[in-house]
Amino acid sequence: MSLSNTVRRAALALVAVSWIAGAAAQEGPTFKVIMQGLAEDMNHLNTAIFAEDFEAIERYASAIAHHPRPSPAERQRLMDAVGPRMELFQSIDRSVHGGAGEMADAARVGDMDGVLRYHAKVMQGCVTCHSAFRDQLTRAPNP
């Protein structure tokens, strides 16, 4: 095999791998998988708060603030399930994301009072959302 054929095959393989990776990225995780990941991050976050480990607090709060987004099809399924209450759902979601980002900022400067204040905001948002939407979202049909 000539060098040009080797280069051509390598380029084609790279394009194929990029296409497959791009397709997988467009799919995104399911809402359930995202919620499971957030629950794990919250558990780690709580442990970090008890240990006063500001680096870990910042890492887990940031992970919560910037969690993966579901695929477009999964987002549509969620919007259909929530229906006319979508504005409330989005408001709570923004509150949780904002609180988690503020918690990460407070941890970055070693402000435990701020960490606890924003932790309470995040927990309130999570519990409010679960109370208002969990049943609807877990029963929503898959596409």
Radius of gyration for the alpha carbons in the chain, expressed in angstroms and rounded: 20
Closest C-alpha among 65, 74, 72, 61 to residue 33: 74
Q: Which range, of 7-11, 50-54, 71-75, averages the lowest pLDDT?
A: 7-11
Q: What is the CATH number of the domain that holds 114?
A: 1.20.120.10
Query: Into how many domains does the chain fold?
Result: 1
Say if 4 falls within a structural domain. Answer: no
Asked whether the predicted pLDDT for residue 23 surpasses 60, the reply is no
**Average pLDDT score over residue span 90-95:** 96
Q: Write down the pTM of the prediction.
A: 0.78
Range of the structural domain that residue 105 is part of: 29-139
DSSP state of 140: S
Q: What is the largest CA-CA distance in the chain?
A: 66
Mind listing the pLDDT tens digit for each residue in 57-66? 999 999 999 9
